[in-house]
Amino acid sequence: MRIATWNINGIKARLETVKTWLRSASPDIACFQEIKSIDEGFPSEVFEELGYNVAVHGQKGFNGVALLSKLPFDEVVRGLPGDPDDLQARYMEGVVSVPSGVVRVVNIYLPNGNPVDSEKYPYKLSWMERLKLRVEELMTYEEPFVVAGDYNVIPTPEDVYDPKAWLSDALFLPETRARFQSLLNLGLTDAFRACHDEPHQFTFWDYQAGAWQKNHGIRIDHLLLSPQAADMLVSCDIDAEPRGWEKPSDHVPVVMELAV
């Protein structure tokens, strides 16, 4: 089973790019973030024609996540528990049946948190704490699951082209990185780092200042695996090619394979 995560930065602007990539890469499950679309506006029929079941948790103009799966969903959960007043569409889960049992795929678009001196950074940290509580609960299920998505977290200095340039950014602050590490400490495995130890492997390049051409990138899109899923891990790679296409997202897909 191949599972991909990709912040597509708007389905309306990126539809043709996404279709081209899906036809080529053909993941079994794709997690999209920042779809910038309400549920009814998401072009589900386009992806159904490509053989996918589609589940959407959308929001007008910004945020929003979508799950595409070649297998039917046994269960879909929308929204991160813990704050009934939080209406931002940033979290969903899908459960599918596989030969060995089930696989749960959690799709997240974690808050950016900038500017740090605004209400956005406390929101980011509280969201991460709620995510941790949900992961703790999922751990008790003792099933293979992946928490995939745009974390807006640069885990280590090896994951950014110039650490000094990001010292005061919400994505790289010590408290942000500590919250990310606390997720790993629950027993999750960073799928990409389990397969690659080389530094300066990036998933995001800003549109400004020639970042793509200069390879001034950061790694903020992650696939974190439960112990049961980590035991199934075959490979995990960054597909940087779509960043060089016409009208690209500023993020690129990360794709892993599980032996299910």
Could you give the residue numbers annotated as active site? 109, 150
Amino acid at 83: D
Nearest to 232 by CA among 197, 256, 198: 256
3-state secondary structure (DSSP) of residue 209: coil
Residue ranges of alpha helices (H) inside 140-197 are 174-185, 191-195
Q: How far apart are CA 68 and CA 55, in angstroms?
A: 7
Residue 94 has which token pair?
Answer: 């899908």
Q: How far apart are CA 170 and CA 152, in angstroms?
A: 8
Q: How far apart are CA 237 and CA 112, in angstroms?
A: 24
Per-residue HEC secondary structure of 180-235 comes to HHHHHHCCCEEHHHHHCCCCCCCCEECCCCCHHHHCCEECCEEEEECHHHHCCEEE
